[in-house]
Structure 1
Amino acid sequence: MSTPIYNTNQIQKRVDDYISQFKEGYFSPLSLMARLTEEVGELAREVNHYHGEKPKKATEEERTVEEELGDIIFVLSCFANSLDLDLSEAFEISMNKIEIRDKNRWTPKNK
């Protein structure tokens, strides 16, 4: 079984198709912010377990960094959809800013 490849528009549509099945719809932006914060905390915990100094307890559920990143993508998509924002456009704005602001900040690799 191959891994599906999605672009951000497909991700946002799949999330919207899922959320649209329910009367409750999207959470409020403040609730989504809280949920995103929770998911980032879970990612931090996993990174600390696998790459830091804090091993998992024997009683802790097995999770992966990949799973936690997926949860963050889901919540980010919910956030963007609820505010009618396009993640591709948001990413483009961010990359343009970073590429201009930081173009001389780092040491280039030799080509």
Structure 2
Amino acid sequence: MTHDKPIYNTVEIQKRVDSYISQFKEGYFSPLSLMARLTEEMGEMAREVNHYYGEKPKKTTEKVKTIDEELGDILFVLTCFANSLDIDLSEAFDMSINKIETRDKDRWTKKD
């Protein structure tokens, strides 16, 4: 993780995405369309992970893409999803991490 580029918090991410989407009459896609788009982006991420870490190398004719580019695409669509449903990503993450920290606190071997 490098920090030589801008660092955004979830509020800034959600505002920037909303600012972009709000300039178009069509606005946000429906939740079903966003789910399909998120699934599509996850498939592209899986493909890149397979190329870098799996047994299936890229064809020489395939466009160079990176895992971080695919993660960015997923984050964008996920943010669109949250914005379209008026969900605060900070609050959603807080609920999730609290659940995980409680449920899984003794699940893994802790470092000394």
The residue number in structure 1 matching 2:43 is 41
Give the 4+ runs in structure 1 shifted more than 6 A.
none
Out of 81, 84, 87, the residue aligned to residue 86 of structure 2 is: 84
TM-score calculated relative to the size of structure 2: 0.96
Instruction: State the Cα deviation string for residues 21-44 of structure 1 (Å, max 9, x = none).
Output: 000000000000000000011000
Out of 15, 24, 27, the residue aligned to residue 26 of structure 2 is: 24
| Cα RMSD for the two superposed structures | 0.6
Out of 4, 9, 12, the residue aligned to residue 7 of structure 1 is: 9
Alignment of 1:42-81 (within 5 A): 42-81=44-83
Give the superposition deviation at 1:104. Answer: 0.6
Aligned-residue identity in percent: 78
Q: Distance in 1 between matches of 2:43 and 2:6?
A: 26
Q: Distance in 1 between matches of 2:63 and 2:24?
A: 29
- Give ranges in structure 2 of 5+ residues lacking alignment: none
- 2:17 aligned partner, one-letter code: V
Count how many residue pairs are aligned between Structure 1 and Structure 2. 109
Give the superposition deviation at 1:98. Answer: 0.2
TM-score calculated relative to the size of structure 1: 0.97
Q: Distance in 2 between matches of 1:54 and 1:88?
A: 37
